[in-house]
Amino acid sequence: MADYIPFITSEESGNLVNKVYSDAEVVRVSLDRVKKVRHLLPASSKVWLDPCVDGMDDLGARRSQPDKRNSWFDFMSGFANFEKIAMPAYHAKPEASEVYAFVKEIMDKCTACKPAWITVPQLPLVSGSDRNKINRLMAAATGNWKSSSGFPGRLILPLVLTHQKQVNRKTARNPKVQQAERCYQESQADGLWVVDMSLEDDSGSPILRNRRFPGLIDLHEELNLRISSKIRIAGPYWGLNLVLWARGLVDHPAIGIGAGYRYLPVGLPGRPPLPKLALPSLRRRVGIKPQFRNWLDQAIAKLAASHPARAEFSGIKKNFAALSVFDRAREQVAGFYKQWFSAIATAPKAGRSMALFQDLSAAYALGKSLPDLADEGTARRPEAVAEPLMLSCL
């Protein structure tokens, strides 16, 4: 079974998991959507059920509107004290009995679905300590619930970061690590899941290499020193999750399913995603725009007839119209990602970081020889995605 954990968010992504990632040891689904996708999940995969509590991060943005219902808000409104617990004013003096009633009800709802893993209810982290009390109470309530319910599965403590300032410097990381250690113990958790929802690690931003990637890598190292977790998860990201896994800092890279390589809590108003295609030899994606087709012509002209990337780019150009359809593009990206992961997974654990370094080095060297990608912003250089990931492998 594969180490990656696909994050299923819809029936479409469930179908794609069955088609591409059916060898996943674990798949993750949110509680509000599990009934719609349960029949699509691979029979051999364990189910990790998330109770959607991180969607309470900004209740105003997720509240039902008169002209458009929010299914997540409607679902969560059925749990005791939901809106009260979501309000920032409540976090200064939360009532343990009210928090326990909320946690017990939502965890009982989760266990009715018979998952192997359940996420401990927690709100995303903020820069200060405003949510420390409410998160500690929810962690303690989960531990009490586990003791009384006899839940036989695993509990996963989430550490959902919301801003780079929380991890770029050690002075900011220290209180987050201390809070995580305390919540881990009080919740009787078996695993730890860490994700920075502000990170777009394939953006090509110059701060990724020198600030953001080192800060997150250091955070995982510090958490591993303080918490002896049986299950360690990172992501979903595009590539940093694979770096952390290859370096042995986590056991499972969480992944998107052809899209969704940046984590977003449930309940946010959706926007139509921009179709993107994978460029396998460059270990990156590119938005499907008219300029991209022109770039393919330029890149093909730069490469020798025998170069493997020339055949790859020619194939994309030949099938450009079909691949421009969102569902087809998503499947193409998912298929590439599966092959990418599998290639690194064949290496012995001790050699995976070097294998990924060499893999990304080849992508970097190829990208340096190719023209800029128009309309890709800070990732306009073809090697812009591979370079910071490559430099973080060792």
Give 58's pLDDT tier (boundaries 50, 70, 90).
confident
Alpha helices in the chain (DSSP H): 11-20, 34-37, 59-62, 71-76, 82-86, 96-111, 132-149, 170-187, 207, 213-226, 240-246, 290-302, 308-318, 320-323, 326-345, 352-368, 386-390
pLDDT digits (tens, 9 = 90+) for 311-353: 999 999 999 999 999 999 999 999 999 999 999 999 999 999 9
Cβ partners under 8 Å of residue 211, min gap 6: 164, 168
DSSP 3-state assignment of 330? helix
Relative to beta strand 284-287, strand 276-279 is: antiparallel
pLDDT digits (tens, 9 = 90+) for 355-394: 999 999 999 999 999 999 988 999 999 999 999 999 999 9
Please say whether the beta carbons of 116 and 26 come within 8 A: yes
Cβ partners under 8 Å of residue 125, min gap 6: 131, 159, 160, 161, 162, 166, 176, 179
pLDDT of residue 67: 52
- Other Cβ atoms less than 10 A from the Cβ of 104: the count is 18
**223 Rama class: left (phi>0) / alpha (psi -120 to 50) / beta:** alpha
Please say whether the beta carbons of 244 and 103 come within 8 A: no
Distance between CA atoms of 222 and 219, rounded to whole angstroms?
A: 5
pLDDT of residue 65: 58
Domains of the chain: 5-255 (3.20.20.70), 276-390 (no CATH)
pLDDT of residue 99: 98
- According to DSSP, residue 351 is labeled G
Is residue 270's pLDDT more than 90? Answer: no
Q: Kindly report whether the peptide bond that precedes residue 236 is cis, defined as omega within 30 degrees of 0.
A: yes
Is residue 94's pLDDT more than 90? Answer: yes
Range 51-54, long-range pairs (CB < 8 A, 24+ positions):
51/106, 51/107, 51/109, 51/110, 51/118, 51/119, 51/121, 52/76, 52/265, 52/266, 52/267, 53/106, 53/119, 53/121, 53/122, 53/123, 53/138, 54/122, 54/123, 54/124, 54/158, 54/160, 54/265, 54/266
pLDDT digits (tens, 9 = 90+) for 198-251: 999 999 999 999 999 999 999 999 999 999 998 999 999 999 999 999 999 999
pLDDT of residue 62: 76
Q: Say what percent of the chain tops pLDDT 70.
A: 97
Is residue 82's pLDDT more than 70? Answer: yes
For the segment 168-185, the average pLDDT, to the nearest whole number, is 97
Distance between CA atoms of 350 and 43, rounded to whole angstroms?
A: 31
pLDDT of residue 343: 98
Terminal C-alpha separation, the chain:
26
Is residue 60's pLDDT more than 90? Answer: no
Give 266's pLDDT tier (boundaries 50, 70, 90).
confident
- Other Cβ atoms less than 10 A from the Cβ of 363: the count is 23
DSSP secondary structure, 360-381, as one string? HHHHHHHHHTS---TT-GGG-S
Rg (CA), the chain: 21
**114 Rama class: left (phi>0) / alpha (psi -120 to 50) / beta:** left
pLDDT of residue 127: 84
Give 70's pLDDT tier (boundaries 50, 70, 90).
confident
Positive or negative: CA dihedral 238, 243, 246, 249: negative
Question: Average pLDDT of the chain?
Answer: 95
pLDDT of residue 379: 97
pLDDT of residue 274: 80
Write out the two tokens for 228: 């002896």
pTM over 0.85? The answer is yes
Distance between CA atoms of 276 and 289, rounded to whole angstroms?
A: 9
Please say whether the beta carbons of 242 and 356 come within 8 A: yes
pLDDT of residue 290: 85
Distance between CA atoms of 10 and 270, rounded to whole angstroms?
A: 12
Cβ partners under 8 Å of residue 316, min gap 6: 277, 279, 296, 323
Distance between CA atoms of 383 and 362, rounded to whole angstroms?
A: 10
